[in-house]
């Protein structure tokens, strides 16, 4: 199969018929074999009924329905689990992503060797209250991830199938799938300017809280990608340095007390800074040690992605 298109949706009953018709038209025009996987993330309107109707008209259109709203990341992750196409696309269900972009992005993956191609909505049809924070957010994400993308949160993306089978999307990490892919060893990440359509039906599902949540998620994924399997490298290092600083302070105060006959150590504010540093350093070191124990006993402690093998029979993808 050439293409899988994963479309998470929440209360998009008005846009689904037009979107599916648009996708089918593009797929047939380019002679792609394809599947469209609609993931209903707990809609309260008639979205699922429409997906069922579309399925009866076209067997290439498939659907997954969640019992309640779990979030976009969960919807994408379940869609990725089911996707069979050589190239897997994600796009939003609100008609703001154009299916006409899919053929060129497909060829960027298949012919130009990209692992992932992210859309860039260079010209956005959004108010300034949304575009200005988005630019600041994307600038920060570029600096912290080292990935030169202009629009991390664009819903329109294309992936090699091996990419989406090698990552797990959870929480609100759908914003950082390129970062997850890079951490999994897929570094050939490209970008394509795509058309941003004006919202035709309904209203956006995201508020201003997505910006501060986005920064917290960025810090989380940045830390776990670097120290998730070696927490002692972070906690142990800083714990040792802080404890050593406290030990030096305590040694200096002891010298002043017994050699220079200075005032009592406990009467000097510096004594409490030294004591605090030694306690904090010990706690950080212990936290790193416990983190190492947890990491070493985890089920995926020896889970490595094997790209290819030669001369081996029945090679498991991970072990």
Q: What pLDDT does 257 receive?
A: 75
Q: What pLDDT does 255 receive?
A: 80
The more confident residue out of 219 and 37 is 37
The more confident residue out of 172 and 82 is 82
Q: What pLDDT does 113 receive?
A: 93
Per-residue exposure over 228-255, b if at least 16 CB sit within 10 Å of its own CB, e if not: ebebbebbbebbeebbebbeebbeebee
pLDDT average, residue stretch 235-256: 87
What pLDDT digit, counting tens, does each position of 300-309 carry? Answer: 544 545 444 3
Q: What pLDDT does 319 receive?
A: 37
Q: What pLDDT does 27 receive?
A: 97
What pLDDT digit, counting tens, does each position of 187-221 carry? Answer: 999 999 998 777 666 666 555 565 566 666 666 66
What pLDDT digit, counting tens, does each position of 102-152 carry? Answer: 999 999 999 999 999 999 988 776 665 566 667 777 787 788 778 888 888
* Least confident stretch, 25-34, 174-183, 265-274: 265-274
* DSSP calls for 211-264: HHHHHHHHHHHHHHHHHTT-THHHHHHHHHHHHHHHHHHHHHHHHHHHTS--S-
Question: Mean pLDDT, the chain, as a whole number?
Answer: 83
* Least confident stretch, 1-15, 58-72, 122-136, 281-295: 122-136
Q: What pLDDT does 229 receive?
A: 66
pLDDT band for position 316 (cuts 50, 70, 90): very low
pTM higher than the cut 0.85: no
97 forms bridges with which residues in the sheet?
196
CATH topology of domain 3-226: Spore Coat Polysaccharide Biosynthesis Protein SpsA; Chain A (3.90.550)
CA 242 vs CA 219, 275, 288: distances in Å: 22, 11, 14
Q: What pLDDT does 309 receive?
A: 37
What pLDDT digit, counting tens, does each position of 264-301 carry? Answer: 777 778 888 888 999 999 998 888 888 777 766 655 54
pLDDT average, residue stretch 62-90: 93
CA distance 116 to 88: 9
Residue length, the chain? 319
Q: What pLDDT does 304 receive?
A: 46
Structural domain spans, the chain:
3-226, 232-297
The more confident residue out of 310 and 35 is 35
Check residue 196 and report its DSSP letter.
B
Q: What pLDDT does 306 receive?
A: 45
The more confident residue out of 265 and 57 is 57
């Amino acid at each position: 199969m050439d293409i899988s298109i994963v479309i998470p949706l929440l209360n998009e009953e008005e846009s689904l018929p037009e979107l599916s018709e648009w996708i089918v038209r593009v797929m047939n025009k380019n002679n792609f074999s394809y599947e469209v996987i609609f993931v209903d993330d707990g809609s309260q309107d008639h979205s699922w009924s429409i997906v069922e109707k579309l399925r009866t008209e076209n067997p290439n259109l498939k659907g997954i329905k969640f019992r309640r709203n779990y979030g976009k990341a969960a919807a994408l992750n379940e869609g990725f689990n089911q996707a069979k196409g050589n190239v897997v696309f994600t796009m939003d269900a609100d008609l703001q992503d154009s299916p006409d972009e899919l053929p060129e992005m497909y060829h960027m993956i298949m012919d130009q060797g990209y692992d992932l191609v992210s859309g860039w909505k260079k010209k956005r049809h959004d108010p300034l209250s949304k575009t200005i924070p988005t630019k600041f957010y994307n600038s920060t994400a570029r600096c912290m991830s080292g990935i030169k993308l202009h629009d991390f949160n664009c819903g329109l993306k294309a992936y090699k199938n091996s990419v989406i089978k090698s990552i797990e999307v959870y929480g609100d990490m759908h914003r950082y799938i390129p970062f997850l892919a890079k951490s999994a060893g897929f570094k050939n990440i490209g970008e394509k300017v795509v058309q941003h359509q004006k919202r035709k039906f309904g209203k956006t599902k995201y508020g201003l809280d997505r910006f501060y949540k986005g920064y917290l998620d960025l810090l989380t994924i940045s830390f776990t990608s670097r120290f998730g399997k070696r927490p002692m490298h972070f906690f142990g290092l800083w714990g040792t340095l802080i404890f050593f600083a406290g030990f030096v302070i305590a040694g200096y105060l002891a010298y002043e007390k017994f050699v220079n006959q200075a005032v009592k150590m406990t009467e000097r504010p510096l004594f409490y800074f030294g004591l605090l540093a030694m306690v904090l350093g010990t706690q950080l070191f212990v936290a790193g040690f416990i983190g190492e124990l947890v990491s070493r006993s985890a089920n995926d402690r020896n889970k490595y992605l094997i790209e290819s093998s030669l001369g081996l029979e029945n090679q498991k993808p991970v072990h």
